[in-house]
Amino acid sequence: MQKKMTLKDGTEITVRELTLDDLENLMKFFTSLPLKDQKYLRIDVTNKEIVKTRISDALHKKDIRLAVLHNDQIIATGALELSHDDWRRNQGELRLIVAYDYQHKGIGLMLARELYYLAVENGVKKLVVKMMKKQKSARNLVKKLGFSHEVIIPDYVTDKSEKLQDLVIMTCDMKDFWKELEHIYQASDWMRCR
């Protein structure tokens, strides 16, 4: 899968699956993230072995990982982490990270749309996102996409500075997710970015 798209400001991007050949480029992307953003990520994205394992897992169809590139540099990543437990096989966890300089350009929405299509192909019925309560802009984005709060668990996770944080779990049915995506695209001029 590889798609070329143009943002409304004229920036040309490519969306495609991550491969092990992307490891160095991906490490540059992750290490360039502001520390305030890295602080709330679930894994240490500056650890090359962890990142390599996650790409390998995607290549073995455990997860789906996409990269957004501009001028051959990764500027965003998205993941659909599929559950392989029998009782959660209809669920997928959605994850998005967009470089600071490329935020508010619609890249997160485009990436969410591509992951939606892949979720449908994989039989996902419900999407889940998990984040720390302090990640307000991330929560606002997924709210726009139709996600609703299911639970907030106080002092459940530890950030990179060893401080306990509240975990927020939000979910969205696939039908609701598509309705919100469609509404966002129809209410804006993003349709020409396909």
Say how far apart CA 18 and CA 9 lie, in whole Å: 25
Amino acid at site 58: A
Give the distance from CA 137 to its chain's centroid: 13
| pLDDT tens column, 148-171 | 999 999 999 999 899 999 999 999
Q: Look up residue 45 and give its two tokens.
A: 């994205």
Spatial CA neighbour of 43 closest among 34, 55, 54 = 54
For 108, the domain range is: 2-193
pLDDT of the residue at 39? 86
Count of domains in the chain?
1
With a CB cutoff of 8 Å and minimum separation 6, the contacts of 21 are none
The per-residue pLDDT for range 6-19, each reduced to its tens digit, is 888 899 999 999 99
Structure confidence at residue 187 (pLDDT): 53
Integer Cα distance of 11 and 70 in angstroms:
8
- Mean pLDDT rounded to a whole number for the chain: 88
For residues 86 and 21, the model is more confident at: 21
CATH number at residue 164: 3.40.630.30
Give the pLDDT confidence of 74-106 residue by residue, as tens digits: 999 999 999 878 888 889 999 999 999 998 898
pTM for the model: 0.85
Contact (CB, 8 A) for 158 and 164: yes
Can you give the pLDDT at residue 20? Answer: 93
pLDDT of residue 128: 95
Contacts of residue 127, defined as CB under 8 A and 6 or more positions apart, other chains included, come to: 91, 92, 93, 94, 119, 147, 171, 172, 173, 174, 177
More confident residue, 61 or 121: 121
Distance separating alpha carbons of residues 126 and 13, to the nearest angstrom: 28
Six token digits for residue 121: 């192909």
**Beta strand ranges found along 85-180 (DSSP E):** 91-98, 126-132, 148-158, 164-173
CA distance 190 to 194: 8
Q: 62: helix, coil or strand?
A: coil
